[in-house]
Chain A
């Protein structure tokens, strides 16, 4: 590790500026915090707001970095072993959009799994690509969805050799990673580009007991949400460029187009600080977090009605697991994950990252402590005793309809069309969908704009509309009507 990794050029620059208490005739309007609402200013302390500056030469520019930001980005690239790193202030969402726009031209095809994040669909619409969907595999025992396997990708590439790129989400929300080394070999062998949404994995490279990171595998472009696990503030993410096939200048331009010209310097500085922290102290910090996580996992698995799948179980399926993510299965309590989340919040002062019908996801970060986990375990133990077999086990299982979909129009073309209308669901057979419909469970879109509504899909949705299943993308209260292309 170079001595230079100890430096935090962006933070230092802004800090030095802040200490000078410079008189502001630049944005933002609160002017170094003076006009920030008293309640907020008293809570946070006033020093914070001196960091909130705008672009001027002393603090460098995100869109055309020449000094502090340039150095900070360079150090980040070195830390991750990539050619270039771009700081992002709109989270991995903007990173995903940037990857599509940078790697593909309108009309290109991209192979990806259907359980991609919302921002991925945005990227598809903005870039005008043809998505080639891989139906994700589901583990019915663990109630989780896997992203594409190397075999699925190879098969898709054989079927669609004209595809330009492969897009993978790894780790998934549950911390499950796919075999990126195998995938890279398959993808690069055919001269294609690998794009990875590694939002949940900015820490993976820095500990040997965590799965292989996309940067280690050599992905062409990969986005990481530094803020999700490491100590950057929310929205602080990084796009890593490490490609022989893509032009870095195009990436630079796209990133610049998608980002604000008024980036928050506190976020940017926090990315710089997070990078230094993980390089210098990451292994030690992650060591204790991994240990605590594994211990928590063991304790949860000793409870009667809760369980938490292990790395061994995931590895047996050919995937790998970031053990700092605890997917806590609650089906045996008889309550839904949503209910348990509520109980944890109201009665135990604990907030998990998300919940669905079957699971809770508790995400550990670099700031998590052993005592946090002890409190979580304690709460689960109490809940375990209280709701012991009182109510029946949740009957729903995570099932994917074996529906084949046919994309007949590019999502972007659907989006740009003026002519769409709402029609009753029962009459929708044969039309082209103009909206996404994602029932939870399983949280995988049944319909994506541009896909034909086959009789099978229509019938499936009609079934769903009778149940009380939450369907996102509906835009109306019930599932009686659906928006289609005219």
Chain B
């Protein structure tokens, strides 16, 4: 992970491609530890406030994490007729949990993260992210490999949300971006069941991972809708994919707003009916990339993100 000091200034550099890097100046860092699963870095940056960086990849920043987490969670939960049981894969910061718990229909949320250190550091240093969500009576926190958890559980869920870091070599997440994983996952969904996942970078120079995830999900789910949102602290349009084992109805902005009003406790800052329309309006060139992609990700043929 690239953290360098130059003339008393500490910079964290995120690699985008072999030819492009972005650097954030660090005010101070709170934790810098290798947990055995991943390299964990909690720091306060000048640009985006407090951040969590795993294996050199920006995961969330104080400044704009609401954009990422609302975009990840709400389309799936709003479009679902009545989500009661939700599974979150990853999401160590607790913010995905926070957003899910805003839905009044929720009866239970299970969150499965593999790295107890990240969860514990987040509980301590990211209070503004989880806002006490870890202690909510409807929350069940499980520290485990989500792949194994899903293989072994008899439970079924209305929505499953995948909030994992990008797949990298020797990283803890890469097997959870495979055909085999998705084939097993769909069995643990109720009917109708929704699967929403963060799906890689939508940046044209990095988009290969995303298009392959899309192609892989297309093999498993009958309905697959990608959507994108620019996240300032990532400095790229980030990709998400919403899948279902049933057809997803189209809702107007007004209908979405009505659902938000009925179902959500508190205020949302990013997502509403109009935002929803924008999210799913994909540019022509991206649609063409997705259409052309044939590469399926499997356990034997995994895909690694450049970091």
- A and B: interacting chains: yes
Listed in ascending order, the chain A residues whose CB lies under 8 Å from chain B are 1-3, 6, 81, 181-182, 184-185, 208-212, 216, 218, 315
Given A3-B8, A182-B116, also A208-B123 (CB < 8 A): no
CB neighbours of A2 from chain B (8 A): 8
> Which residues of the other chain, A, contact B5 by a CB distance below 8 angstroms?
1
Bound Cα distance from A190 to B161, whole angstroms: 32
| Number of residues of chain B lying within 8 A (CB) of chain A | 18
- In the bound assembly, the distance between CA atoms of A51 and B42 in angstroms comes to 40
CA A212 – CA B120 in complex, angstroms? Answer: 12
The 10 closest A-B pairs by CB, nearest first: A181-B120, A3-B8, A208-B34, A208-B32, A208-B33, A209-B34, A216-B31, A212-B33, A1-B10, A315-B36
Once A2-B8, A81-B30 are accepted as A-B contacts, the answer to whether A208 and B120 lie under 8 Å apart by CB is no
A181-B28 in contact (CB<8A): no
Is B16 an interface position by the 8 A CB rule? no
What distance in Å separates the Cβ of A8 from its nearest Cβ neighbour in chain B?
15
Q: Which residues 113-141 of B have a CB within 8 angstroms of A?
A: 116-117, 120-121, 123-124
B39 at the interface (CB under 8 A from A): yes
The interface residues of chain B lying within 8 Å CB-to-CB of A212 are 31, 33, 117
Given contacts A181-B120, A185-B120, A212-B117, contact A6 B8 (CB under 8 A): yes
Residues of chain A lying within 8 A (CB to CB) of residue B124: 181, 184, 218
List A contacts of B121 (CB < 8 A). 181
* Chain B residues with CB under 8 A of A210: 33
Q: How far is the CB of A186 from chain B (nearest CB, A)?
A: 11
> Assuming A181-B120, A185-B120, A208-B39, is B31 touching A1 (CB within 8 A)?
no
Contacts of B36 in A (CB 8 A): 315
**Bound Cα distance from A181 to B143, whole angstroms:** 14
CA distance A211 to B31 in the complex (A): 11
Residues of B within 8 A of A3 (CB): 8
Nearest CB of A to B19, in Å? 27
Least Cβ distance of A109 to chain B in Å?
Answer: 26
Distance in angstroms from B258 CB to nearest chain A CB is: 40
Q: How far is the CA of A208 from the CA of B1 in the complex (A)?
A: 11
B33 — nearest CB in chain A belongs to which residue?
Answer: A208
Q: List 12 A-B contacts (CB under 8 A).
A: A1-B8, A1-B28, A81-B28, A181-B121, A181-B124, A185-B120, A208-B32, A208-B33, A208-B34, A211-B33, A212-B31, A216-B30
Contact of B123 with A185 in the complex, beta carbons under 8 Å = yes
Closest A residue by C-beta to B42? A216
**B contacts, CB < 8 Å to A:** 5, 8, 10, 28, 30-34, 36, 39-40, 116-117, 120-121, 123-124
* In the complex, chain B residues whose CB is within 8 Å of the CB of A1: 5, 8, 10, 28
A212–B33 CA distance with the chains assembled, in angstroms: 7
Which residues of A sit under 8 angstroms from B28, Cβ to Cβ? 1, 81
Chain A residues near B33 (CB-CB < 8 A): 208, 210-212, 216
Beyond A1-B5, A1-B28, A208-B32, whether A181 also contacts B117 by CB under 8 A is yes
Contacts of B10 in A (CB 8 A): 1
Which residues of chain A come closer than 8 Å to B116, judged between CB atoms? 181-182
What are the residues of chain A within 8 A of B123 when measuring CB–CB? 185
Q: Give complex CA distance A12, B285 in Å.
A: 64
Q: B25: shortest Cβ distance to chain A, in Å?
A: 12
Residues of A within 8 A of B39 (CB): 208
In Å, the complex CA distance between A185 and B116 comes to 12
Cα A3 to Cα B7 with chains together (Å) = 9
Q: How far is the CB of A166 from chain B (nearest CB, A)?
A: 17
| CA distance in complex: A184, B117 (Å) | 12
Residue of A nearest to B120 (CB): A181
Measured in the bound complex, the distance between the Cα atoms of B36 and A3 in whole Å is: 32
**In the bound complex, CA of A185 to CA of B8 (Å):** 34
Closest to A204 in B: B33
A81 to B124, CA, bound (A): 14
How far is it, in angstroms, between the C-alpha of A6 and the C-alpha of B94 when the chains are bound?
A: 37
User: Closest chain B residue to A3 by CB distance?
Assistant: B8
Known: A2-B8, A6-B8. 6 other contacts (CB 8 A): A1-B5, A81-B28, A185-B123, A208-B32, A212-B31, A315-B36
A215, chain B: closest CB distance, angstroms: 11
The CA-CA distance from A306 to B266 in the complex, in Å, is 63
- Whole-angstrom CA separation of A422 from B95 in the bound complex: 64
A185 to B125, CA, bound (A): 12
Q: Of all chain B residues, which has the CB nearest A311?
A: B36
**CA gap between A182 and B35 in the complex, in Å:** 14
Smallest CB-CB separation from B117: which chain A residue?
A181
Chain A contacts for B8, CB-based, 8 A: 1-3, 6
How far, in angstroms, from A185 to B10 measured CA to CA in the complex?
30
* Chain B residues positioned under 8 Å from A208 (CB to CB): 32-34, 39-40
A3 to B121, CA, bound (A): 27
Q: Which residues of A contact B32 (CB under 8 A)?
A: 208
A181 to B5, CA, bound (A): 28
Q: Which residue of B lies closest to A205 (CB)?
A: B32
CA gap between A1 and B6 in the complex, in Å: 11
A6 to B117, CA, bound (A): 31
Are B120 and A182 in contact, with the CB atoms below 8 A?
Answer: yes
B117 contact set on A, CB distance < 8 A? 181, 212
Give Cα A6 to B9, complex, Å. Answer: 12
State how many angstroms separate the Cβ of A387 from the closest Cβ of chain B.
Answer: 36
Q: How far is the CB of B139 from chain A (nearest CB, A)?
A: 15
B195 smallest CB distance to A (angstroms):
31
Cβ–Cβ < 8 Å partners of A185 in chain B: 120, 123
Most A C-beta atoms less than 10 A away, residue of B30, B36, B39, B120: B120
- Find chain A residues with CB under 8 A from B30 CB: 81, 216
Compute how far the CA of A132 lies from the CA of B123 in the bound complex, rounded to whole angstroms: 29
Name the distance in Å between A42's Cβ and chain B's nearest Cβ: 41
Contacts of A209 in B (CB 8 A): 34
| Minimum CB distance partner of A320 in chain B | B36
- Smallest Cβ-Cβ distance to A312: which chain B residue: B36
Nearest A residue to B36, CB-CB:
A315
Least distance between A2 CB and chain B CB atoms (Å): 7
Q: Which residues of B contact A181 (CB under 8 A)?
A: 116-117, 120-121, 124
Q: Complex Cα distance A204/B92, Å?
A: 24
**A81 contacts across to B, CB distance below 8 A:** 28, 30
A211 — which chain B residues lie within 8 A by C-beta?
33
The answer for the CA separation of A208 and B40 in the assembled complex, in Å, is 8
Neighbouring B residues of A184 by C-beta, 8 Å: 124
CA distance in complex: A1, B3 (Å): 12
Shortest CB distance A177–B (Å):
12
Contacts of B40 on A, CB cut-off 8 Å?
A: 208
Bound-state Cα–Cα, A209 to B38, Å: 11
Min CB distance B50 to A, Å, is 14
Complex-state Cα separation, A209 to B10, whole angstroms: 19
Smallest CB separation, A289 vs chain B (Å): 16
Q: How far is the CA of A216 from the CA of B41 in the complex (A)?
A: 12
B8's closest neighbor in chain A, by CB?
A: A3
CB distance from B38 to the nearest CB of A (A): 11
Question: CA of A6 to CA of B7 in the docked complex: distance in angstroms?
Answer: 11
Contacts of A218 in B (CB 8 A): 124
State A6–B10 Cα separation when bound (angstroms). Answer: 14
Could you tell me the distance in whole angstroms from the C-beta of A446 to the nearest C-beta in chain B?
35
In the complex, A181→B122 CA distance in Å?
A: 11
